[in-house]
Structure 1
Amino acid sequence: MKVAVIGCTHAGTAAIKNTLALYPEAEIEVFERNDTVSFLSCGIALYVGGVVEKAESLFYASVDGFEDKGIKMHMEHEVVTVDTEQKQLEARDLNSGEFTIHSYDKLIISTGSWPLTPPIPGSDLENVVLCKNYDHAKEIIRRSEHVNNVTVVGGGYIGVELVEAFEEKGKNVTLIDAESRILNRYLDKSFTDPVEQSFRDKGVQLLLNEMVSGFEGNGKVEKVITNKCEVEAELVVMCIGFRPNTDLFKEQVDMLPSGAIVVDQYMRTSAKDVYAAGDCCAVPYNPTGKAAYIPLATNAVRMGTLVAQNLVEARVPHPGTQGTSGLKIYNHYIGSTGLTETAANINNIEVRSTSIEETYRPDFMPENNLIQLKLVYEVGSNRIVGAQVISDIDLTQVVNTVSVAIANGMTIEQLALTDFFFQPHFNKPVNYLNEVALKAVQQETVLEKETTEV
């Protein structure tokens, strides 16, 4: 069996490793534009902030390691055409310019995503950079060494992590975002307010509800222009989101309007013997029951693993995702899973929520911290569809627990009575998850009674 893999970050690496384990006799050829594999881009901010000293440590697989296992690695090769009917692809060596034709029995598309790059005037100025791969990480470090004023455009996870990293390196940092809040896709206002306040306390300038309209400078960026003001900048990092890197496969496989490849529960595309995994494709999203574009490393690894499991026959279906994620900014430990109330409304799902904010351990414990926890559930079914947590200590595993609850269709009643251990070092006799779910049950009981009386 000849297996061709296009792209080798998280999904590609997982697909290769698992294909090797399941089908050691397979002939695997990998086509990758870069000269490295398996780069953990989520570690770029840690590298910028000096927590990770060497960018080389942000890899968990190597070209040599794959080649030692008999895999043919076509590094710095760009696949320029794919014929899914003839089962052939054409690749160009980016160094020599030579074109070669390769055949396959099974094709795995793991081309990932690429940063959104709107046509902003001045984007071609020096020191306006992207943040995605190993080369970007090295460039950000190199260019930031001799500058003082840094602007980050985009208030998602990567953007806010970079803001923290630059601030802790002593830079004057400005964060610009078109939305009214940072992290608004993942968290509600009560969870983002503390983070925004911490940024302001550290001297970070937050320009929210502002659109970047241009960059100005003499060869090198000197100023960022928004619809409301101008900001001095010697380095600009663009982090406004990602798009699926799938142009090569248009009209060959089914896609969402966003360009995300549509796969079935076995990771099969609409083309025979063609599979897709990772940031290039959509994933089943359990809170809505629909396919969604959720570019996360965890999703990519699971999808790559499933491709290998289903490469010869459909054996293991995708269990779906909740889009679970975590973040640490200064002293804030934050986690989220599933839908926020805003996202639920966008998806036409009627929801209600309950929240708690209290100490996570008994009051007699000499050291204690507040936990703020929110649970979102569907009206009528009482099915849990989302949760958010923030605390000054790491209690983020709570959203992993809720992720399991969402995946299994649990209701607020079931979570309210789930068996969690009690030990004063860790929690109260009524676990905070039990408590927030019990509060939701009580809320529904009161509302039902009021409706009945009316």
Structure 2
Amino acid sequence: MKYVIIGGVAAGMSAAMQIVRNKEDADITTLEMGDIYSYAQCGLPYVIGGEVERTDKLIARDIQTFREKYGIDARVFQHVKEVDTKQQLVKGEDLEQQQSFEIPYDKLLIATGGSPIIPNWLGRELKGVHALKTIPDLESMTDDLEGVNDITIVGGGYIGLELAENLIITGRRVRIIERNDRIAKMFDEDMTPLIHEEADKHGVELCLEESVTAIEGEKRVQSVITDKHQYNTDMVIAATGIKPNTDFMQHTGMHRLDNGAILVNRYMETNIKNIYAAGDCATQFHRIKEIDDYVPLGTHANKQGRVAGQNLAGQAKAFQGIVGTSILRFFDLTLAKTGLSENETAAMNFPYDTVVYKGSDIAGYFENKKPLHVKIIYRTDTDVVIGGQVIGESGADKRIDVLATALFHRMTISDFEDLDLSYAPPYNGVWDPLQQAIRRAT
């Protein structure tokens, strides 16, 4: 059995290792467009801030380990341009050797990930314009930081906020330009003041309801122009989302979403025989929406890769789906979310209600307690909990994981109130803040 995997990072190498462990004498070829395998992309912003010493700390396994220990034909600088689904051939170019290749496969996994979107701004080609997705992206950005004092981040989502924090730590001035009326729009509007106050507290300039129209400078960035203002700046970082790397499959008849994400079933199979897909280039089944969604996160990529590898090796394994859990640190705050926001709930036409509660991370009589802001969303027709948001300096991570577990198992507000959660005064109140919130809904 000849296995070919396109992509050598999270999903691709998770799958490859499952094949190695479950299929004796497997013939595996992996094709990576860059020259770095199996690294933690989510850790990249923290190299800038100094919490991660250097980029090689992010590499889980190097190429030689895959080749020598596991017998994988791990290739680098392989640009896949086409898949012949009838002849079962992967075609492309070896960028180092500057020659074309054709590789036959019995089973193929597409794990090509996604690429950052840099909008078609006038001046986007100037030196000092960056995006962050890979180690080479980071190295290019950090090499360019010398002499840079003022940085403009376009986009106020996860990457934008993480970059803002880590760049502020280095002593630079940072502004975020966001076309919406608030940053962190994945959270509901009533949680926004907490996030905006934290940005202001740490000196992040927020430029809201503005859209970038052009970048100006002579060879290098000197200013960024929006539909409202012009800002002098030394660097522009696009943090405006990612696009699945699937254009090379567009003429194959493969089913994809409008954004290019490959539609897969629970076994990571595409609609084309012997072809699977996983990770940031594929869809994820959303357990609450009950639709194929696109939520590109490292956790999903690793899980989907593992499931794909088991199925490729002949062991039937279904991906159980996601509930939409995410978390990030923004200076002193932890911002955590799971399930649906109010906007997402309304878009699904679910009947719902919400409850908001302000408690503390530990017993309320402790002097060092920290405020914890909790919001829970539940369906009024079934009482099933379908979403939650928790923001605070301490304890938000613990609570969001409890909520995510409840959502995964479709618990009702009554079920949630009955949970036997841990209690000791240095860790919690006798009623956890989540249950305090839930009790207000019953």
Provide TM-score, normalisation by structure 1: 0.94
Q: Distance in 2 between matches of 1:391 and 1:117?
A: 32
Question: Which amino acid counterpart does residue 373 of structure 2 have in structure 1?
Answer: Q
Determine if the alignment matches structure 1 residue 124 to structure 2 residue 121. no
Q: Distance in 2 between matches of 1:114 and 1:360?
A: 38
Partner residue of 1:195? 195
Provide TM-score, normalisation by structure 2: 0.97
Question: Greater CA deviation, 367-376 or 211-220?
Answer: 367-376
Partner residue of 1:50? 50
Q: Distance in 2 between matches of 1:312 and 1:15?
A: 9
3-state SS in 1 of match to 2:312: coil
Q: Distance in 1 between matches of 2:366 and 2:135?
A: 45
Question: Greater CA deviation, 5-14 or 420-429?
Answer: 420-429
Alignment of 1:99-248 (within 5 A): 99-185=100-186, 187-248=187-248
Shift of 1:361: 2.7
Q: Distance in 2 between matches of 1:394 and 1:435?
A: 15
Alignment of 1:280-295 (within 5 A): 280-295=281-296
Q: Distance in 2 between matches of 1:384 and 1:126?
A: 48
Partner residue of 2:369? 368
Contact 2:177 2:206 (8 Å CA) reproduced: yes
Alignment of 1:36-435 (within 5 A): 36-68=36-68, 69-185=70-186, 187-252=187-252, 253-313=254-314, 315-435=316-436
The C-alpha deviation readout for 1:208-267, integer Å capped at 9, x for no partner, is 111000000011110000011001111111110011111011142111111110001111
Q: Distance in 1 between matches of 2:175 and 2:422?
A: 44
Contact 2:22 2:313 (8 Å CA) reproduced: no
Contact 1:375 1:387 (8 Å CA) reproduced: yes
Partner residue of 2:25? 25
Shift of 1:146: 1.4
Contact 1:319 1:407 (8 Å CA) reproduced: no
Q: Distance in 2 between matches of 1:111 and 1:370?
A: 42
Q: Distance in 1 between matches of 2:167 and 2:313?
A: 47
Q: Distance in 1 between matches of 2:201 and 2:367?
A: 28
Q: Distance in 1 between matches of 2:23 and 2:334?
A: 41
Q: Distance in 1 between matches of 2:277 and 2:416?
A: 35
Identical-pair percentage: 30
Question: Greater CA deviation, 402-411 or 431-440?
Answer: 431-440
3-state SS in 2 of match to 1:151: strand
Shift of 1:314: 6.2
Question: Which amino acid counterpart does residue 292 of structure 1 have in structure 2?
Answer: D
Shift of 1:420: 1.3
3-state SS in 2 of match to 1:56: helix
Q: Distance in 1 between matches of 2:154 and 2:402?
A: 33
Contact 1:151 1:173 (8 Å CA) reproduced: yes
C-alpha spacing 1:314/1:22, structure 2 compared with 1 (3 Å) = closer
Q: Distance in 2 between matches of 1:160 and 1:375?
A: 23
Shift of 1:313: 4.0
The C-alpha deviation readout for 1:104-149, integer Å capped at 9, x for no partner, is 1110000000111221111011111111101110111111121111
Question: Which amino acid counterpart does residue 123 of structure 1 have in structure 2?
Answer: R
Partner residue of 1:436? 437
Shift of 1:46: 0.6
Shift of 1:318: 1.2
Contact 1:38 1:61 (8 Å CA) reproduced: yes
Question: Greater CA deviation, 432-441 or 228-237?
Answer: 432-441
Question: Which amino acid counterpart does residue 53 of structure 1 have in structure 2?
Answer: E
The C-alpha deviation readout for 1:337-369, integer Å capped at 9, x for no partner, is 110001111222222111110223333334211
3-state SS in 1 of match to 2:441: helix
Q: Distance in 2 between matches of 1:434 and 1:155?
A: 31
Q: Distance in 2 between matches of 1:333 and 1:147?
A: 28
Contact 1:287 1:386 (8 Å CA) reproduced: no
C-alpha spacing 1:192/1:42, structure 2 compared with 1 (3 Å) = farther
Question: Which amino acid counterpart does residue 93 of structure 2 have in structure 1?
Answer: R
Question: Which amino acid counterpart does residue 131 of structure 1 have in structure 2?
Answer: L
Q: Distance in 1 between matches of 2:350 and 2:139?
A: 43
Shift of 1:39: 2.5
Question: Which amino acid counterpart does residue 36 of structure 1 have in structure 2?
Answer: I
Contact 2:364 2:429 (8 Å CA) reproduced: no
Q: Distance in 2 between matches of 1:212 and 1:79?
A: 33
Q: Distance in 2 between matches of 1:378 and 1:273?
A: 40
Unpaired segments ≥5 residues, structure 2: none
**What RMSD, in angstroms, separates the aligned Cα atoms of the two structures?**
1.3
Question: Which amino acid counterpart does residue 318 of structure 2 have in structure 1?
Answer: P
The C-alpha deviation readout for 1:45-69, integer Å capped at 9, x for no partner, is 1111111121111111211110012
Question: Which amino acid counterpart does residue 245 of structure 1 have in structure 2?
Answer: N
The total of aligned residue pairs comes to 440
